[in-house]
Amino acid sequence: MTVLVVATGNPGKLKEMQAHLAGLDWALALKPDALEIEETGATFAENAYLKASHVAKATGAWAIADDSGLEVDALDGAPGVYSARYGNTDADRIERLLNELGNELNREARFRCVVAIARPDGTIALEAEGVCPGRILHSPRGNGGFGYDPIFYVLAQRLTFAEMSGEQKRVLSHRGRAFQALLPQLKTLSAG
């Protein structure tokens, strides 16, 4: 079984990735705590590549990283790569986003995620992108999830991410879609 180092120190993200990659011949492990990676990319893809490559070179193992965030049309794609840094807490980030949108009628948005896998030498072997379209509500709904989930409404489901079950969100989310696109490539890579 090949070790795939996850470019995060977050055990929750490791667990989520393990669920997406269940049944494959890869053993996931967290990156070393001392290994810090500054996200300096201008796009989700650049940040995912940067994190995967850095961790792979530092550990000498295969590495996987993702970068994701919320893009709001009326805010010219903001908060984008700054989604996690749009405030100090989830509540702050939601409040800032709703204040910036105000009474704007165009509330179209999408969550985007790019997943990258790097070889032990740091070169990118695979990448996949997932997008989940939605709308930003005027006020939060639901108690599940995290981040912008309470204000991100998925029209096809008539629910916010915060109102969905964990399984629904895992399948429908931008991250879920990115992993669905990645799996066939990863099976080929692990078989080769």
Q: Region of 64 please: left (phi>0), alpha (psi -120 to 50) or beta.
A: beta
pLDDT tens by residue, 6-48: 998 777 788 888 888 888 888 899 999 889 898 899 999 999 9
Reported confidence tier of residue 145, pLDDT bands at 50, 70, 90 = confident
% of the chain beyond a pLDDT of 90? 75
Q: How confident is the model at residue 186 (pLDDT cuts 50, 70, 90)?
A: confident
- Residue 137 is predicted with a pLDDT of 98
Q: Is 66 a known active-site residue? A: no
Most confident of 92-96, 165-169, 187-191: 92-96
- Look-up: residue for tokens 């530092």? 58
Question: Is pLDDT of 191 > 50?
Answer: no
Instruction: Provide the domain limits for residue 81.
Output: 2-191
Q: What is the pLDDT of residues 57-87, one digit of tens each?
A: 999 999 999 999 999 999 999 999 999 999 9
Segment (H or E) for 18: helix 11-20
State residue 21's pLDDT score.
Answer: 86
- The pTM for the full model equals 0.92
Beta strands in 48-151 (DSSP E): 62-72, 108-118, 124-136
- Please answer whether residues 164 and 172 qualify as being in contact, where contact means their C-beta atoms are separated by less than 8 angstroms: yes
Looking at 25, 66, 67, 73, which residue is catalytic? 67
Examine the pLDDT at 139 and tell me if it is beyond 60: yes
Helix (H) or strand (E) holding 86: none
Q: Do residues 50 and 16 make contact, with C-beta atoms less than 8 angstroms apart?
A: no
CATH number of residue 170's parent domain = 3.90.950.10
**89 contacts: CB under 8 Å, gap ≥ 6:** none
Predicted pLDDT at 43: 96
**What's the domain count of the chain?**
1
